Amino acid sequence: DAGITQSPRYKITETGRQVTLMCHQTWSHSYMFWYRQDLGHGLRLIYYSAAADITDKGEVPDGYVVSRSKTENFPLTLESATRSQTSVYFCASSDSGRGYTFGSGTRLTVV
Amino acid sequence: GQQLNQSPQSMFIQEGEDVSMNCTSSSIFNTWLWYKQDPGEGPVLLIALYKAGELTSNGRLTAQFGITRKDSFLNISASIPSDVGIYFCAGQPPGDSWGKFQFGAGTQVVVTP
């Protein structure tokens, strides 16, 4: 199916574990983004990527790692999950100059 | 980072009423986006604005890029129950790479019959 998909939709993990959130888009958009959404903070940019193998930090990158070996995939890894990383994570993709399209989100709970 | 203030935080309106919300900043932006988010879903783009003074409509929605480039407004006319949700503004600061938008905290809209 065309579009942007995130997996899993829901994830519970323990403090200290590594967890990877997946994002896949079928449009061949150059730009991809990871946001986290928390009450009172709205959407905050974690990392973004302008093309394959090009990534850059956003507003809140600490504790996260990204990679983009292929244009269509942009996984986000929490190297050692903490409770403060409990959040809803959204991936988005975009062509330059246009607004971007969000995935449906991954709700992550760190216990 | 720059502060992007969105107001009101929430609003309770009756079906058929018009809705207005806005985003303001102390700094200028090059692009404004308006999104709507339904519960359990990702935000969906409603309107994109690229030029100061631009006024753009999408059905019952109208948004404007403020002439000072520091604000933007979204109006919903004749609200209906499906307008319920959280509306977000997003601004692209000049000088930043494309896509590094800053988001407002959102306006929660509740429509009562």
**Tens-place pLDDT, residues A57-81:** 999 999 999 999 999 999 999 999 9
What tokens were used for B51?
């030029």
Across the interface, of B42, B98, B105, the residue whose CB is closest to A90 is B42
Below-70 pLDDT ranges, chain B: 1-2
Q: Does the beta-carbon distance from A102 to B43 stay under 8 Å?
A: yes
Q: Is B70 exposed, middle or buried (0-12, 13-18, 19+ CB in 10 A)?
A: middle
pLDDT of residue A52: 94
Using 50, 70 and 90 to split pLDDT, how confident is the model at A1? low
- Which residue from B minimizes the CA distance to A47? B100
